[in-house]
Structure 1
Amino acid sequence: MAKERTLVLCVDRDDDLGFKARIDGPIVGREACLHAAVTLGLADSEDSDINAIFETIKIYDDLVARGEEVAVAVICGNHMNLLEGDRRIAASLDAILSATNSTASILVTDGAEDEYVLPIIQSRVPVSSVRRVVVNQMPNLEGTYYILRRLLDDPKVSKIVLVPVGLAMLLYAVGYLLGYPEGATIVVVGVVGTYLLFKGVGIDEIFGYLITSMKTSLHGGRFTFVSYITAILLGIVGIFLGLVSLLDYYTSAGIFFQVLAFIYGAIAWFTAAGLVASGGKIIDVFLNEREAIRRVVALPFFVLAIGAIAYGASIYILSISSEVSGFPITADAGVKYIIFATIGGLFCAFLGVYLQSLLSRWGNDHEPLALKRGA
């Protein structure tokens, strides 16, 4: 029986090594990790990742002294885009496991943020222990001020904190300058609230991923670049028509009915945008990665299903509500709309799932025999 080999792994999810010390990950081997820690220490002696890397090396030395088979490595994410960073961590870990033949791992982190990648690591190799390195300090007022100042100097933190505060102050000043202080308050609260909602739900990462995908598509000559641009334009049209619908059927009954009025006017265009974007993705996958088409073939069916159900639901609620005046669809017709839209949406979703399952079975049946045997 082969002897178990343990990988002592340090995770730098925000890639301070690359951002501050200009060291590209992954970093494999004791000397390489030690050099990375020293270089990062010279670049920023207060970075907590330094202690995490040194702790990783210490655990590696202890296990080696006990006669165990051990490897040591540091993997890095992305300083500005955590979504792309997690993908980079997954790819780096696959390469390290293939190179070191490790069968277990010990995870070393410097905080809770890095532990978000624990499921990624566990999906590839068993994690036998997690070591979280915490630096002992004596906090005081001066130290707290210095820490806050250091955080605000970090581009990632300043972008989250300073941008909404600065934008709110600028909008408020413009409102007062134009003589509309009440309107300025509404605009400021709305903009800051939208920003916080985007950050809280993670929509900003989705936009970041979309921009990265568009750049990749443009440089690679992919069809998705055109489809994404078209989808964005359709989405802008949808927003405009949604606002027009909101003004036509505006009610003071509450934001719920206002959102439904917006959806009623915009959802068809949003659905068209989703269909164009997913259709472009399917075309690119079919032309360049045909074996992966089963993973994306269901996208347009799901988009159409969600759009149909949302459209039917908005019509039904607006038609039966006594708070909305001038709505062109009666309550009886609204019932028919939601029934047919729900049935049609569920059928589209089922069709997408069935087609995906069919292609998956077809792919498994046509998989090379050597791969099926694990050769």
Structure 2
Amino acid sequence: MTQGRTLVLSVDRDDDIGWKAQVESPCIGRAACLKAANTLALADPEDSDVNAIFSAIKIYDELTAKGEDTAIAVIAGNHLHMIEGDRRIAASLEKVVDETKAANCILVTDGAEDEYVIPIIQSKIPVSSIRRVIVNQMPNLEGTYYILKKFFDDPKISRMVFIPIGLAMLLYAIAYLFGSPGIATIIVVGVIGCYLLYKGLGFDELFHGIWDALKLSLSRGRFSFVTYTMTFLLIILGSTAGFANILKYYSSDGSLGLITYLMTFLFGALGWLILAGLVLSVGVIFDVFSNERENLGKVIVFPFFVTAIGLILYGASVYIISITGVPDFPLSTDTTSKYILWSTIGGIISAIAGVMTQHVINKKIAESRKQEIIEVM
């Protein structure tokens, strides 16, 4: 027999019980879990999480009938934002473990996202068994059509698929109306390519995190809300200046390579982008100093590293532009050779200064903690 209390845990990562059935999680105990399953079944009888919760209840009943010390719970994440959802799962599981005093866990899922959920669960409680509940379907054309229809009816999926395709088609139609079908094709391919990179590199989660941080700073009245807003505006100004630089040199010589265009963008935008990074760093440092001073060492390096990266990129951009022979570039190769040398040295000095400052801050924080412990004792 398994040592300690066993927790039968059903995980609804996309929070269908909250999104569709308006059931607050975590649900702890057989009665609460059964109520959540029935409510979700009435809201959406075809949801696979219904079967997962009922399967968890069945496992709980079987183990209880054998005389095992068993608990049961259902926890959920977030329907739209996976990062916030996973954090909610971790927090909910911690609460469930504290309340049930469980020593191990039997995980029950619908099999869709096990690889994401399992590490989170294992970080809080040992997983002794995993039960994947797969609902049998008739593999005919009508069933496939119905599954796809339900798939695209989900607002999370429809926004991810329909918006980029619709935007690309709209831009193509506008460009075609202005008599530029060649540009229209470039626009469509560019929009789809940018969207695929945006999703593939995880920028969507990054922007969700930034947006959540912005809302949090506003709701708590933090200074960083102002700096977040200023940073956003500075990034727009920098991007505009960078693209204006590209258009300037594209009009003078349309045969420049991709690397040269990237460097001309950086040459025009870097000043604004560095300023944006510094403004953001100041806001974060101010808030951490005011509210979470023990974490000051983690963020104090931000302005130093922003300056270091900015200096190195600036030196590299002007040097590459000068050696590629861009017409009308104001700096000569000899001058840019000095630029890249001194900017690299300046960047290294800035990075070293940041690391040393972080070391000093962390040392002072550690000494302060020791002093507090001594005073308490």
TM-score by length of 2: 0.89
Equivalent position of 2:309 in the other structure: 306
Q: Deviations over 1:71-119 (max 9, x none)?
A: 3222211111112212222222222222223333333222343531333
- Say if 1:13 and 1:114, in contact at 8 Å, map to a contact too: no
> Equivalent residues in 2 for 1:271-290 (5 A)?
271-290=274-293
Residue 359 of structure 1 and its aligned partner are, at CA, apart by 3.6
> How far apart, CA to CA, are the structure 1 residues paired with 2:164 and 2:256?
30
> How far apart, CA to CA, are the structure 1 residues paired with 2:146 and 2:373?
57
Equivalent position of 2:338 in the other structure: 336
Residue 31 of structure 1 and its aligned partner are, at CA, apart by 1.6
Which region of structure 1 is more displaced relative to structure 2, 265-274 or 97-106?
97-106
Letter in 2 for 1:278: S
> How far apart, CA to CA, are the structure 2 residues paired with 1:350 and 1:129?
49
Letter in 2 for 1:16: D
Equivalent position of 1:243 in the other structure: 243
Go from structure 1 to structure 2 and tell me whether the alpha carbon gap of 1:310 and 1:96 turns closer, same or farther (over 3 Å shift).
farther
Residue 231 of structure 1 and its aligned partner are, at CA, apart by 0.3
Go from structure 1 to structure 2 and tell me whether the alpha carbon gap of 1:20 and 1:294 turns closer, same or farther (over 3 Å shift).
same
Residue 357 of structure 1 and its aligned partner are, at CA, apart by 4.3
> Equivalent residues in 2 for 1:213-252 (5 A)?
213-250=213-250, 251-252=254-255
1:258 and 2:261 aligned: yes
Equivalent position of 2:54 in the other structure: 54
Q: Deviations over 1:256-305 (max 9, x none)?
A: 22122112211221121122112111111211222332332232233223
Residue 229 of structure 1 and its aligned partner are, at CA, apart by 0.6
> How far apart, CA to CA, are the structure 1 residues paired with 2:302 and 2:112?
34
RMSD value over aligned CA atoms? 2.5
Residue 26 of structure 1 and its aligned partner are, at CA, apart by 1.6
Go from structure 1 to structure 2 and tell me whether the alpha carbon gap of 1:9 and 1:368 turns closer, same or farther (over 3 Å shift).
farther
Letter in 1 for 2:108: V
Equivalent position of 1:366 in the other structure: 368
Q: Deviations over 1:122-148 (max 9, x none)?
A: 333333333322222232211111111
- Say if 2:301 and 2:358, in contact at 8 Å, map to a contact too: yes
SS of the equivalent of 2:196 reads: helix
Equivalent position of 1:144 in the other structure: 144
Go from structure 1 to structure 2 and tell me whether the alpha carbon gap of 1:185 and 1:10 turns closer, same or farther (over 3 Å shift).
same
1:188 and 2:209 aligned: no
Equivalent position of 2:35 in the other structure: 35
Residue 314 of structure 1 and its aligned partner are, at CA, apart by 2.0
> How far apart, CA to CA, are the structure 2 residues paired with 1:107 and 1:346?
49
Go from structure 1 to structure 2 and tell me whether the alpha carbon gap of 1:344 and 1:88 turns closer, same or farther (over 3 Å shift).
farther
Equivalent position of 1:92 in the other structure: 92
SS of the equivalent of 2:131 reads: strand
> How far apart, CA to CA, are the structure 2 residues paired with 1:46 and 1:329?
67
Equivalent position of 2:327 in the other structure: 325
> How far apart, CA to CA, are the structure 1 residues paired with 2:49 and 2:371?
46
Go from structure 1 to structure 2 and tell me whether the alpha carbon gap of 1:43 and 1:217 turns closer, same or farther (over 3 Å shift).
same
Letter in 1 for 2:271: A
SS of the equivalent of 2:70 reads: strand
Which region of structure 1 is more displaced relative to structure 2, 11-20 or 210-219?
210-219
> How far apart, CA to CA, are the structure 1 residues paired with 2:345 and 2:69?
59
Equivalent position of 1:19 in the other structure: 19
> How far apart, CA to CA, are the structure 2 residues paired with 1:354 and 1:61?
59
Equivalent position of 1:77 in the other structure: 77
- Say if 1:109 and 1:115, in contact at 8 Å, map to a contact too: no
Which region of structure 1 is more displaced relative to structure 2, 165-174 or 357-366?
357-366
- Say if 2:137 and 2:143, in contact at 8 Å, map to a contact too: no
Residue 43 of structure 1 and its aligned partner are, at CA, apart by 0.6
Which region of structure 1 is more displaced relative to structure 2, 95-104 or 355-364?
355-364
SS of the equivalent of 2:369 reads: coil
Residue 48 of structure 1 and its aligned partner are, at CA, apart by 1.1
- Say if 1:11 and 1:114, in contact at 8 Å, map to a contact too: no
> How far apart, CA to CA, are the structure 2 residues paired with 1:357 and 1:62?
56
Equivalent position of 1:165 in the other structure: 165
Size of the aligned set, in residue pairs, is: 370
Residue 370 of structure 1 and its aligned partner are, at CA, apart by 9.8
Residue 346 of structure 1 and its aligned partner are, at CA, apart by 3.6
- Say if 1:12 and 1:114, in contact at 8 Å, map to a contact too: no
Equivalent position of 1:200 in the other structure: 200
> How far apart, CA to CA, are the structure 1 residues paired with 2:189 and 2:264?
22
> How far apart, CA to CA, are the structure 1 residues paired with 2:67 and 2:358?
49
> How far apart, CA to CA, are the structure 2 residues paired with 1:41 and 1:337?
67
> How far apart, CA to CA, are the structure 2 residues paired with 1:91 and 1:153?
30
> How far apart, CA to CA, are the structure 1 residues paired with 2:222 and 2:265?
33
TM-score by length of 1: 0.89
> How far apart, CA to CA, are the structure 2 residues paired with 1:333 and 1:127?
63
Residue 39 of structure 1 and its aligned partner are, at CA, apart by 0.9
Letter in 1 for 2:126: P
**Unpaired segments of 5 or more residues in structure 1?**
none
- Say if 2:60 and 2:70, in contact at 8 Å, map to a contact too: yes
Go from structure 1 to structure 2 and tell me whether the alpha carbon gap of 1:177 and 1:60 turns closer, same or farther (over 3 Å shift).
same
1:292 and 2:285 aligned: no
